[in-house]
Amino acid sequence: MKPDDIADGLKLCRKAKWNQLEADWQIFLHNSPDACMVATYKEQIVGTVTTIRYGHSFSWIGMVLVDPDFRQQGIGQQLLQKALQLLQSEETVKLDATPQGREVYLKMNFVDEYPISRMNMLHAEQIFHLTIARAILKDDLPLLIKFDSKIFGADRSSLLNWMREKAPGFAFLIEEGNEIKGYSMGRYGHDFIHIGPVIAENISIAKDLVYAALNKCAGSPVILDILHFEPEWIAWLKEIGFTEQRNFIRMFRGTNRFRGAPENQFAIIGPEFG
């Protein structure tokens, strides 16, 4: 995939009703200029796949997208095989699968790690809740990236710098003294604002961060992709107006040695990034 292919990638996103914007494709190519691919038929782009290497910890596969007119022809599986060839030297490869996609990945030696739910709020309302969250400043990023790496399991500094730069209004931090206790970020999309990641030491901090983010989203549709380690978390999100829209399964192939602390990941960036 080359920068000139982004327009066709966006066409596929719109056909599939996916949320990505041009900036999302650009960061894929910035991080992995030689490891994002397209499938073509008579010079027409009919499928895509992206990969990201998160340091020496693990790599990620995302944006497995096939034109609806060309599905059921094995194109998605070919793209996946090519992605796995590119990542064959990696100790661990991860992805977030739909229930249908899971059946394909199981045949490729991926195994389940944990479930993820997409939570949707069609019309965010301003919530008058006192929060101690403050805006993330550029000077906060070195400490924030160290905090995030321990919980995510890998260094994703390039991605977090990009998110703060593109949508600083959704970037919040909670700290005690000079110690970070939690943070959240978000990004704009074609159909909704996507809040995530939400990384926190406990559910109380996670709630505070989501309150701060939602107050920047008033009037807009919002989604979060959440983990299920805290039963109270999904119940609280439903209580404030979110509904469960769809499910994913976090899967991996390899050792999964760098698991991080998923119990402190209250929302992910999105299935395309992890």
pLDDT tens digit string along 11-32?
A: 999 999 999 999 999 999 999 9
- Give the CATH number, domain containing residue 153: 3.40.630.90
Q: What is the mean pLDDT of residues 222-251?
A: 96
**Distance from C-alpha of 131 to C-alpha of 101, rounded to nearest angstrom:** 39
Task: Write down the pTM of the prediction.
Answer: 0.95
Neighbours of 71 (CB within 10 A): 12
Could you tell me the residue range of the domain that residue 129 belongs to? 119-267
Residue 53 and residue 141 share a domain: no
Using pLDDT thresholds of 50, 70 and 90, give the confidence band for residue 130: confident
pLDDT for position 193: 97
Residue 123 and residue 83 share a domain: no
Using pLDDT thresholds of 50, 70 and 90, give the confidence band for residue 129: confident
pLDDT for position 144: 98
Residue 231 within any structural domain of the chain: yes
Residue 82 and residue 134 share a domain: no
The alpha-helical segments, DSSP class H, found in 87-168 are 99-106, 141-152, 157-166
pLDDT for 126 beyond 80: no
Q: Would you state the structure tokens that stand for residue 37, as one six-digit string?
A: 């691919």
pLDDT for position 184: 98
Residue 273 within any structural domain of the chain: no
Residue 163 and residue 82 share a domain: no
The total number of structural domains in the chain stands at 2
Q: What is the mean pLDDT of the chain?
A: 95
Residue 42 and residue 137 share a domain: no
Q: Is 72 left (phi over 0), alpha (psi -120 to 50) or beta?
A: left
pLDDT for position 127: 75
